[in-house]
Amino acid sequence: MKSLDESDFAIVGLGLMGGSLALALRAQNACKSIVAIDRDADVCARALARGVVDQAGADLTLAASADVIVLATPVRTILAQLSRVGGIAPPGAVVIDLGSTKREIVRAMDALPAHAQPIGGHPMCGKEVAGFDAADANLFRGVTFVLTPLACTAPPTLAFVRSMVEAIGARPLVIDAARHDRLVAATSHLPFALAAMLMATASDWARDDELFDALAASGFRDTSRLAASDTAMMLDILLTNRDHVAGAIRACSRRLDQLADAIAQGDENALRGILEDSARRRRALFKS
């Protein structure tokens, strides 16, 4: 296997994640070359003009000579692309994705030809805005980058991908795909669902009151931020992790019912306990 700095990369999807990866690799001179594959000709042209990539186009066969193929498209698109990638990837090519759910992707990767070296990936970062214009070379710096190897993932492949993750400033964390999906349902997907429903509930509550916009201040702005996330991306995430996300939403609904009951009954002791417990856990988690 080639070293990272001798490797040719093909990044499929030049949106927030793929674009940020290309920028980060380029900023660190971490690889030999980068080919971008994106259906948006304007994005390809701009990436070329900025010197972010060495070649760009819409044809997936541009990845046919790559040492590393990175799938940075929405999850269900990744699932559809994997069968084509299997017929394109050269012997020994590392195939990694950046999708936000892992179980279905890892299952699909398991069907790749034996000459490919697949491994699941998920950088734990993002923005509520999507697209190449939102890409940032520092997006991955200091964040956890989950790796979900398969049984067929060779140790040198895992070591190579670890070196890539570290080169862009992230912290690799190797875990099982099922464990990943269960945890991110609570830490990532539930927050989006709550923000979306907060936005919907507040808008319904104040539908006929012209002061709604004036009173939607910083607290509402911060807690509803994720509701502005890319809908296509979030649909893929929710539907490919639906059992865990639905379970997390129902568990949260029970917590909300407890909170509502304590407020409605004027039960100050119960309310204080609920709020102090949440505050203590939040401070412990983020050390603030």
**What's residue 287's pLDDT?**
82
Across 257-272, average pLDDT:
97
**What's residue 130's pLDDT?**
83
What are the beta bridge partners of residue 96? 70, 119
**Residue 23 near residue 81, CB atoms below 8 Å:** no
Mapped onto helix, strand or coil, the DSSP state of residue 287 is coil
Across 43-71, average pLDDT:
96
Could you read off the pLDDT of 201-233 as tens digits, one per residue?
A: 999 998 888 899 899 999 999 999 999 998 988
**pLDDT higher than 80, residue 128:** no
Across 12-20, average pLDDT:
96
Q: Which residues are CB-contacts of 237 (< 8 A; sequence separation ≥ 6)?
A: 75, 100, 101, 189, 192
Work out whether strand 117-123 and strand 144-149 pair parallel, antiparallel, or are unpaired. Answer: antiparallel
**What's residue 126's pLDDT?**
82
Query: pLDDT band for position 288 (50/70/90)?
Result: low
**pLDDT higher than 90, residue 187:** yes
Query: pLDDT band for position 127 (50/70/90)?
Result: confident
Q: CB 261: neighbour CB atoms within 10 A?
A: 12
**What's residue 55's pLDDT?**
97
pTM exceeding the 0.95 threshold for the entire prediction = no
Across 165-184, average pLDDT:
98
**Residues shown for the chain:** 288
**What's residue 275's pLDDT?**
97
Q: For the chain, give the mean pLDDT.
A: 95
Stretch among 119-128, 137-146, 243-252 having the lowest mean pLDDT:
119-128
Domains of the chain (ranges, CATH numbers): 4-175 (3.40.50.720), 180-286 (1.10.3660.10)
Phi and psi at 171, nearest 5°, equal -110, 115
The dihedral through the CA atoms of 106, 67, 155, 14 has a sign that is: negative
Mapped onto helix, strand or coil, the DSSP state of residue 11 is strand
Percent of the chain with pLDDT over 90: 92
Sheet of strand 68-71: strand arrangement: 55-57, 33-37, 8-12, 68-71, 94-97, 117-123, 144-149, 171-174
**pLDDT higher than 70, residue 108:** yes
